[in-house]
Amino acid sequence: MRAKRFTFIVGLGLALLVVWLLNFHYFTGLDEQAEHCAVTHFYADGSSVPVFGAEDIEIDHDAGLAFISAVDFAQIHKEFAAGGVVETQGGIYVWDMVANPPGSEPIHVTDISRSIKQDGQFRPHGISMLKVMNGYRFGIVNHAYPTVDGVAQSGDEVLLADYVDGQLSVTAKVRHSLMCSPNDLALVDESRFFVSNDHGACTPGAKALEETLGLKHAYLLYYDGDTMQQVARNIAYANGVSLSPDSSDPMLYVSATREEKLYRFDADKLMRGDLRASRGVIDLPFSPDNITWDERGALIVSGFPNLYRFLAHRKGMPGFDATPAAALRIAVPGDDGPDHQALFADNSGMINGATVAAVYRDKMIATSVFDDRVLVCDSEAP
């Protein structure tokens, strides 16, 4: 009898905890504010169907160009789970924000990855962009699903590609056994990069256990153009990665999604394998995803005020069609702006979680990987 009563009490406690996590754990330090935002969409190459799943954005502020990585991961996961061929592909799109500025309706973008998609294995995740002499060099986390004996196999890689004459062209593919769950990357130069591995585990079952227990097993990798090695570890879901714009003293920032933190490292020391590379952490009021930079060198961090609701939305659970989203501007040393500034915070599901946010002039653009909506806000939030 006592055992049954104990089991009932524990079960009730767990149920109440789940209810609290899914319904009441929203903002911790941000007031809801989205009245200065409007919802729009990206439309590619004259299509009337919005681009779905914009996951990452890189902006060339001088040229007024935004490069967008997008893919329907929900559909891809369904196809992979069903076995056979994974047919859905994603794309990299360019948005001319001078000709078609934020706030315009509709927003027209152009697919610049058509040549890459010819082999049927292009599913971009995080991206990184460098301006080079003849155009742009891109690093792209790509999730390929080659078919072996009629069954799709998971295969992860980083593509190095050049954007010249309106199209991306792959120049190299980097694969490594350590890079079994890559999420985002930051180019150091045309051949070197940092890449986050968001799980320490490489198999689906072990990944699920890692997520359930909140284990800090994820890590950061560095590729020197020839070899790949771990340079930082003990992170709970290593996500967005970005190098600071200051090339004289480069700092690398890594989102720890399950920890509600940004890790900060001396990039030069990381590349040398110096164990003293850590420069501390930045605590956040939400679970961070991707990281971008505004024109004055401040960090723009997007994320999920309620990660549990986002995961429920991602799994398609009934009743979780909407999930909160937020973005924050964080000043770095030398920036004369406020230390922290909320750019938007919304509980209503204007977009379902903010996978990435970027600022161009007086506008902020935010998107979600499990949504076709784009949020355009005044970047100087009230």
Q: What is the pLDDT of residues 158-181, one digit of tens each?
A: 999 999 889 999 999 999 999 999
pTM: 0.91
Q: Which of 72-76, 94-98, 190-194 has the lowest mean pLDDT?
A: 72-76
Q: Does domain 2-378 match CATH 2.120.10.30?
A: yes
Note the pLDDT of residue 337: 60
Domain boundaries, the chain: 2-378
Note the pLDDT of residue 21: 45
pLDDT single digits (tens) 294-346: 998 999 999 999 887 777 766 777 676 778 899 999 987 666 666 889 999 99
pLDDT single digits (tens) 125-165: 999 999 998 899 999 999 999 888 888 888 999 999 999 88
Note the pLDDT of residue 308: 79
Residues 230-238, mean pLDDT to the nearest whole number = 96
pLDDT single digits (tens) 35-75: 899 999 999 999 999 999 999 999 999 999 999 999 999 99
C-alpha to C-alpha distance for 101 and 360, rounded to whole angstroms: 9
More confident residue, 115 or 15: 115
Q: With pLDDT > 70 as the criterion, what percentage of the chain qualifies?
A: 88
- At 12, the pLDDT band (50, 70, 90 cuts) reads very low
pLDDT above 70 (res 11): no
